[in-house]
């Protein structure tokens, strides 16, 4: 198993934050941080740095607005084995005000999340944040809704930015392995000549998150996202313990993540934080739609799947 | 989506029977039968025809020993849209005594399940059962434990039997999509010249059951197994509602299966019948082992995954 150049990114606090409004126990964050280091994970994402003008901090845990200080408070000193990232959404962050120079920050990487329609804004953010000394990636969301032409057009533009990698973000969990391969090839073809790498962020609506991540890896994607026990919006993500188990060897070690599942993730789920595959998510993935109707159905314990499919088919 | 020549086999009563000792409510069996017909499913497997000399009927529901009469009692008349199958395990069936001629039977197909070591016995069964007028397939279990040479050797022998198809049976849920493709190609290469087809029976230990089934299909596998809501041993199988949703169109219709999940499968799980992905199953899949230790751990609510992995790694 070659893991050369692979960067596993733990996105638990970020995608997982979408299912608990970013209310994580500090002890959990510390345990996750420690587990990630011991597992050999390459990056840990400390949530978002969202605009406090747009979102009321009273309604969310701190990891939606993660400040450098929040991170220092939890990690103490920086461990050189694990780089740290934060996600910023186009249009939902005051990046010019809220991001300072890298030299004072525990953060190494900002991941700029964008829809295909706002690539110019994403590029503006990438340029600005890179100029502060940070690494950047661009994460193109809802990729299953984009045409190949749109994607190619976006990638040619992004190839000229300082971003290290561009992500395939399967927000809707709509991709099958075949499509994951096709997109990885398309990305690679355009990005490799510019020295950029490809990333995969998968969702598990159709139980393909892990499979799609492996498929992307085999075709050269270097940035692979996982979350502990798959914690993430709706059906959740590629389970980082499954991914690390697969990559297990000299660099990666699954045991710390298994311990984390045992110590934290099972009880988090039992205590009512909801994520993971169910039939409602399968249907939004199948129809290539935002999981919001399935999230609502899951919350309401609505199991009328035929009605749900009908509704989705008319979208 | 081409579905030409595809045969979807519903194995709920058979693989699902392994998690409830074949105690299915007759009303459920009728509902499943009806749903399968309406969904356009091609075959429905009515459990096993196991030897009553080896297994005490007091300890199991009737679908472990399925007689023709059991089937007639549930289905009434035969519906020509759905063929019926029964599985017989090498060494665990009194096939010469317990299988009569096809003309008196509701059963169309016997699927002969075998390990790679008992291919000669499987061939004996295939020959005998075919001579009674039935369709047959050969299902090679624990395929992830076999070398390519063993597999090729078995396939060359099976290519000369009357079996319609030979199955890749990923009993341990150990296959990744890449391996599912490799095996499908190997099978196809040897079997196609003999006019035999390839089947895929997947398990979900590493959440690859659906993905592996799609991969096999894309490379020409025609026999695709699913079970309602994935009900099956350990981590369960490819969900037939997900598979049929994917194939949905003129021939296949997902709605009846969605209704079945809503009406029956959710409550079956809630009432304590256990199946489906968890971390223990991921570890047996990862280490390419029989799920028995994970089944035991799941029953005991043992979440000491590091210990489980240690144990599996020494096997």
The tens digit of pLDDT for each residue in B153-200 reads: 999 999 999 999 999 999 999 999 999 999 999 999 999 999 999 999
Q: Please indicate whether, in this complex, the C-beta atoms of B254 and A215 are within 8 angstroms of each other.
A: no
- Cα(B120)–Cα(A197) distance, integer angstroms: 51
- The residue-averaged pLDDT of A82-103 equals 98
Chain A residues near any Cβ of chain B (below 8 Å): 176-178, 204, 206-212, 214-215, 218, 229, 239, 241-242, 245-246, 254-255, 258-259, 261-262, 266, 277, 279, 282-283, 286, 303-306, 309
The Cβ of residue B181 has, within 10 Å, a number of other Cβ atoms equal to 17
As a whole-number percent, the residues of chain B with pLDDT over 90 amount to 98
Residues 6 or more apart in contact with residue A132 via CB below 8 angstroms: A99, A100, A101, A102
Picking from B177, B254, B261, the nearest residue to A211 by CB comes out as: B177
Q: Please indicate whether, in this complex, the C-beta atoms of B286 and A176 are within 8 angstroms of each other.
A: no
- The residue-averaged pLDDT of A282-290 equals 97
* Whole-number pLDDT of residue A169: 98
- The residue-averaged pLDDT of B118-134 equals 98
* Whole-number pLDDT of residue B314: 80
Q: Please indicate whether, in this complex, the C-beta atoms of B309 and A258 are within 8 angstroms of each other.
A: yes
Res. A1 pLDDT band, cuts 50 70 90? confident
Its pTM surpasses 0.90: yes
Interface test with B, best of A228, A258, A304, A313 (most B CBs within 10 A): A258
**How far is CA A250 from each of CA A3, A240, A245, A254, B203, rounded to the nearest angstrom?**
9, 17, 12, 11, 29
Q: Please indicate whether, in this complex, the C-beta atoms of B239 and A282 are within 8 angstroms of each other.
A: yes
Nearest CA in chain B to A207: B207
* Whole-number pLDDT of residue A188: 98
* Whole-number pLDDT of residue B173: 98
As a whole-number percent, the residues of chain B with pLDDT over 70 amount to 100
Tokens linked to A307: 């009605």
* Whole-number pLDDT of residue A314: 80
Res. A2 pLDDT band, cuts 50 70 90? confident
* Helices of type H across chain A: 12-15, 17-20, 26-39, 68-75, 95-98, 119-131, 148-158, 177-191, 209-218, 240-247, 255-260, 266-270, 279-286, 292-300, 305-313
- Cα(B178)–Cα(B176) distance, integer angstroms: 5
Task: For residue A205, give the DSSP letter.
Answer: T
Task: For residue A103, give the DSSP letter.
Answer: G
Picking from A176, A212, A306, the nearest residue to B255 by CB comes out as: A306
Using a CB-CB cut-off of 8 Å, the residues of chain B touching A215 are 177-178
- The residue-averaged pLDDT of A128-140 equals 98
Q: Alpha-carbon torsion A89, A91, A93, A97, what sign?
A: positive
- Cα(B245)–Cα(B256) distance, integer angstroms: 11
* Whole-number pLDDT of residue B258: 98
Q: Please indicate whether, in this complex, the C-beta atoms of A305 and B210 are within 8 angstroms of each other.
A: no
Enumerate the β-bridge partners of residue B110.
B86, B136
Q: Please indicate whether, in this complex, the C-beta atoms of B207 and A242 are within 8 angstroms of each other.
A: yes
For residue A273, with 0-12 CB atoms within 10 Å meaning exposed, 13-18 middle and 19 or more buried, which class applies? Answer: middle
Picking from A177, A209, A214, the nearest residue to B214 by CB comes out as: A177
User: Tens digits of per-residue pLDDT, B71-116?
Assistant: 999 999 999 999 999 999 999 999 999 999 999 999 999 999 999 9
- Cα(B65)–Cα(B199) distance, integer angstroms: 24
ipTM for the assembly: 0.97
**Res B1 pLDDT > 90:** no
**How far is CA A106 from each of CA A6, A86, A96, A263, B148, rounded to the nearest angstrom?**
22, 10, 18, 27, 50
User: Tens digits of per-residue pLDDT, A43-63?
Assistant: 999 999 999 999 999 999 999
Interface test with A, best of B174, B180, B209, B245 (most A CBs within 10 A): B245
CA distance A223 to chain B (A): 19
Q: Please indicate whether, in this complex, the C-beta atoms of B210 and A207 are within 8 angstroms of each other.
A: yes
As a whole-number percent, the residues of chain A with pLDDT over 90 amount to 98
Interface test with A, best of B39, B207, B276 (most A CBs within 10 A): B207
**Res A138 pLDDT > 90:** yes
């Amino acid at each position: 198993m070659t893991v050369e150049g692979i960067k596993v990114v733990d996105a638990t606090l970020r995608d997982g934050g979408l299912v608990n409004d970013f209310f994580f126990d500090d002890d959990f964050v510390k345990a996750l941080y420690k587990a990630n280091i011991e597992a050999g994970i390459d990056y840990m994402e400390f949530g978002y740095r969202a605009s406090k003008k747009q979102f009321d901090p009273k309604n969310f845990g701190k990891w939606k607005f993660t400040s450098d200080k929040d991170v220092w408070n939890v990690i103490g000193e920086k461990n050189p084995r694990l780089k740290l990232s934060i996600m910023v959404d186009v249009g939902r962050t005051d990046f010019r005000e809220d991001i300072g120079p890298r030299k004072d920050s525990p953060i190494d990487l900002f991941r700029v999340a964008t829809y295909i329609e706002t690539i110019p804004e994403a590029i503006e953010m990438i340029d600005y944040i890179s100029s502060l000394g940070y690494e950047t990636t661009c994460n193109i969301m809802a990729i299953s809704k984009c045409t190949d032409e749109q994607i190619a057009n976006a990638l040619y533009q992004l190839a000229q930015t300082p971003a290290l990698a561009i992500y395939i973000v399967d927000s809707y969990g709509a991709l099958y392995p075949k499509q994951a391969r096709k997109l990885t090839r398309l990305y690679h073809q355009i990005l490799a000549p510019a020295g950029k790498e490809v990333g995969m962020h998968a969702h598990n609506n159709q139980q393909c998150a892990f499979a799609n991540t492996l498929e992307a890896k085999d075709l050269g994607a270097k940035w692979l996202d996982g979350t502990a026990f798959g914690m993430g919006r709706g059906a959740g993500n590629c389970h980082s313990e499954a991914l690390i188990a697969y990559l297990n060897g000299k660099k990666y070690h699954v045991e710390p993540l298994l311990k984390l599942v045992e110590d934290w993730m099972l009880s988090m789920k039992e205590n009512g934080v909801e994520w993971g595959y169910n039939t409602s998510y399968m249907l939004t993935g199948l129809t290539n739609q935002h999981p919001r109707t399935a999230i609502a159905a899951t919350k309401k314990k609505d199991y009328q799947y035929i009605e749900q499919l009908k509704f989705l088919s008319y979208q």
